[in-house]
Each structure stands twice: as C-alpha cells, then as structure tokens.
C-alpha cells in the first residue's frame, strides 16, 4: 500500500518524526469542531450560564442586549399598564406567551422589576403583544385571552391572566385558557364568547404591527424610555438600564 505522509518534523538533529496526512487531517478537524462548539456555547449563554437570547421570527435564538442608541417612541395608549402614571421611566415589553425566553424572563426577572421599580412608583410598565404564530401556534389566542379578561375585569384582571398563562406555559392550550380565565374571576360564558369570536384579534395585530415598526424582531423585547433591550437578560442588566434613567 502506498501510504501518503506529511513532511517530516525534525525535533533534534538525527531524529525525524513522520506524521501521516490522514492522521493530521483528523486531528485538525477535531480541534476545529471543538472550537466551534465552545464558541457557540459561550455565544448563547450569559454570564451565569443561562440562555439570554430571544426567539426571533425564524425561530433561531439570538444573544440579547442593549441595541442601537436611537430613541424609539412606542405607542402605549390603550394597552395594559402597571405602576404609576407619574413614573419617570416607562418600560414597554413586547411578549409572546408561548415563547420560552419570555417564560424565563417572567420567572427569573419580571417579579423583581415589579417589586423594586413598579410597586415603588419609579417605573410604569406596559405590556404589548408580539405573537410569533408561525412557531408558536397558541401565542395568538393566549394574547387574545388576556385582552378578553381585561375587557371583563380591567387591568387588574389582565395581569392576573398574564401571570396565570406564564405560570402554566408548559400546558398552554385553548381549553386551559378558558379554565384559567375562570380561575382569575372572569365570567366564563362571556370570556368564551369573546375568545371564540376573535373579538380581540385586532388589538393583538395592532400591537404586533407597532412592534415591527419599533424594530422588534423577536421576543422578549423591551423599550426603556425609548432605548431598546433585546432578550431575557438578567435582572442586573435591566437594573442598570433603569437606574440610568432615574
């Protein structure tokens, strides 16, 4: 057999080591693959080893963070809010109720922001919808469900339904949306009629269109006093951005 080899490597005078080309190729491929894997792992993880990306329209997670410094002026009139109207900071969240990163933000960060900034009157929190229906088939109806409850129970009912959906995100379905609406105190018959008729589809679509105009490409996305933040970033990232505005 005619075995191909790479050029000899001389370590010391009189000593020659011959490396087979196919062996050298295998080692090079292995090292390159390892570098790519490590690079991808670092890219998708935050400082604490937790994914901080968001879900974009094509379903690919991307790394989150503060975006371009251009000031965005999102439409907030008519959308559910929490906190004081006199707050010096307005924080707008674009969410998708079936998005796993939105669920992560809700479970790990949202509550602390509400406690430290919304309940203390420093931040006015606004929730807008950006359902990615092509990859999250239940997101549209979940968004409509929150507005149906709001129509019946006001903003207080809306936020209860908002919390209920995220807490049960793993079992999100049309049947459970109707059950959860009753759990938060909404009239079952009126809620079912609202949801089944698609009465709130237009406000969800309006929010989505405005989000696209605001440069939103994935969820969760945030606008804090006109400055964009993308992804389920850790609490400290939001704290820094909010404190800079206070």
| Residue 214 near residue 53, CB atoms below 8 Å | no
The contacts of residue 222 (CB under 8 Å, 6+ apart) are 91, 92, 93, 94, 228, 229, 230, 238
Distance CA 27, CA 140 (A): 49
Pairing state of beta strands 89-95 and 65-66?
unpaired
pLDDT recorded at residue 87: 97
pLDDT recorded at residue 79: 97
Q: State if pTM tops 0.85.
A: no
Distance CA 13, CA 180 (A): 80
Taking the chain (246 residues) in consecutive chunks of 10 residues, what is each chunk's mean pLDDT? 44 47 48 46 40 49 48 93 97 98 98 98 98 97 98 98 98 98 98 98 98 95 96 96 97
Distance CA 43, CA 204 (A): 32
Counting Cα atoms < 13 Å in the Cβ hemisphere of 195 gives 30
pLDDT recorded at residue 20: 55
Domains of the chain: 9-44 (no CATH), 54-245 (3.40.30.10)
pLDDT recorded at residue 151: 98
Instruction: Identify the CA nearest to 79 among candidates 167, 133, 159.
Output: 159
pLDDT recorded at residue 55: 53
Pairing state of beta strands 16-17 and 9-10?
antiparallel
pLDDT recorded at residue 71: 84
Distance CA 160, CA 158 (A): 5
Instruction: Name the DSSP class of 84.
Output: -
Angle between helices 139-167 and 188-197 (to 10 degrees): 140
209 φ, ψ (degrees, to nearest 5): -65, -40
């Amino acid at each position: 057999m005619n075995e191909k080899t790479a050029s000899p490597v001389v370590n010391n005078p009189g000593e020659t080591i011959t490396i087979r080309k196919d062996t050298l190729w295998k080692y090079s491929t292995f090292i390159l693959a390892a570098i790519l894997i490590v690079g991808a792992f670092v890219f998708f993880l935050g400082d604490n080893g937790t994914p901080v990306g968001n879900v974009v329209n094509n379903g690919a997670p991307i790394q989150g963070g503060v975006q371009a410094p251009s000031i965005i002026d999102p439409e907030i009139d008519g959308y559910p809010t929490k906190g004081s109207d006199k707050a010096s900071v307005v924080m707008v969240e674009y969410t998708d109720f079936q998005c796993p990163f939105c669920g992560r933000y809700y479970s790990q960060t949202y509550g602390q922001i509400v406690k430290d900034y919304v309940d203390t009157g420093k931040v006015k929190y606004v929730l807008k919808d950006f359902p990615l229906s092509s990859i999250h088939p239940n997101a549209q109806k979940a968004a409509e469900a929150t507005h149906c409850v709001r129509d019946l129970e006001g903003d207080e009912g809306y936020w209860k339904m908002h919390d209920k959906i995220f807490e049960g995100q793993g079992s999100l379905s049309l049947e459970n949306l109707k059950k959860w609406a009753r759990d938060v105190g909404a009239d079952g018959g009126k809620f079912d009629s609202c949801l089944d008729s698609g009465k709130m589809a237009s406000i969800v679509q309006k929010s989505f269109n405005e989000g696209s105009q605001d440069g939103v490409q994935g969820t969760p996305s945030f606008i804090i006093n006109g400055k964009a933040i993308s992804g389920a970033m850790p609490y400290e990232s939001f704290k820094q951005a909010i404190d800079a505005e206070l």
